[in-house]
Structure 1
């Protein structure tokens, strides 16, 4: 499993509080993919830009897809732009991939065949490894989970996880800013929609 897949599994856990928005998760998954690509030497970070490296055997179709979509001409792509471009509906892609790999399954709540359908984790070695990383408070995984608002269970007076890699720190920070920007857009739209509705209700 990759950091991105582990993050998706953690976000899908019913115990994750509060529930993670799909847009927030998609941005964080794109950021986690960058960390995975950095880890195998497929990319490097120069300031706020993504510099492609040489070809590597990733053995993961979603990471292969991510690597194939990298901008390979200077001045290269900014991390923020990558998050918005790659993150488009990315959480849905991960759900589909994990269902196809047997890591997730669909079940219906209640006894009736037309009950509400939900997605559940399957007890697999990969899912257990993700849970173990989460239990061990692996810094990168905790950092991305924190970005999307998942409570890692750390005491309030615990310091934020320390990332020992400058590139990872940069990617996490820019991902956090992108998620905050998305939330600001949501709030602005909510205010606009509320004002529009009040206009029609006005006497």
Structure 2
């Protein structure tokens, strides 16, 4: 299992109790994929630039897709640019992939299916692994969960890490999440202003 998939499972577990912004989760999943690709030696960071290594299959469909999407010539992408590009719609892709693999199911009520349409993790080795990592308070998973809004810690909390690669990626995802929140706030203000004009205020 990958950190990205573990994060997706943790997010699905948290969703009924804590509404998540899909954009924030998608950015955090893209960061998790980056850590998985670093571990798989599919890329290295040069400051904040991503330099791909020789591509080898990881055995995970979405992670292989992420590896194949890396820019492989100058000018290389920055971490934050890749997070934005790769993160587009990524949370939905993970939800669909988990369901395709039989790791989630749509809950049913006693008589009719629940109208929410959301999926929940089923009992599986993958779920148990994700839950064990989450319960242990593993710093990397906790930091990514904070970026996704699953935990209350700041999205850029990097004080627990000394590895420069880790802090670079976590700082980039924290910046991206804050930028996305600023965009949401601007849109809310613009929408409110439009509503006021429409009502004649």
Please indicate, yes or no, whether the TM-score normalized by the shorter chain is above 0.5. yes
Cα deviation, 1:33-91, whole Å, max 9, x if unaligned, reads 00000011100111111010112231111010000000000221011110111111011
Question: What does residue range 115-134 of structure 1 map to in structure 2 within 5 Å?
Answer: 115-134=115-134
Cα deviation, 1:118-149, whole Å, max 9, x if unaligned, reads 31110000110000000111111001001122
Gaps of 5+ in 1: none
Q: Secondary structure at 2:169's aligned position in 1?
A: helix
Q: State the TM-score, normalized to the length of structure 1.
A: 0.90
Aligned residues: 198
Q: Does structure 1 residue 186 correspond to structure 2 residue 171? A: no
The answer on whether the counterparts of 2:27 and 2:173 sit within 8 Å (CA) in structure 1 is yes
The answer on whether the counterparts of 2:107 and 2:114 sit within 8 Å (CA) in structure 1 is no
Q: State the TM-score, normalized to the length of structure 2.
A: 0.91
The answer on whether the counterparts of 2:55 and 2:68 sit within 8 Å (CA) in structure 1 is no
Q: CA deviation at 1:14?
A: 3.8
Q: CA deviation at 1:162?
A: 1.4
Q: Does structure 1 residue 171 correspond to structure 2 residue 169? A: yes
Q: Secondary structure at 1:108's aligned position in 2?
A: coil
Tell which deviates more after alignment, 49-58 or 11-20.
11-20
Question: What does residue range 18-97 of structure 1 map to in structure 2 within 5 Å?
Answer: 18-97=18-97
CA distance in 2, matches of 1:149, 1:10: 11
CA distance in 1, matches of 2:115, 2:163: 47
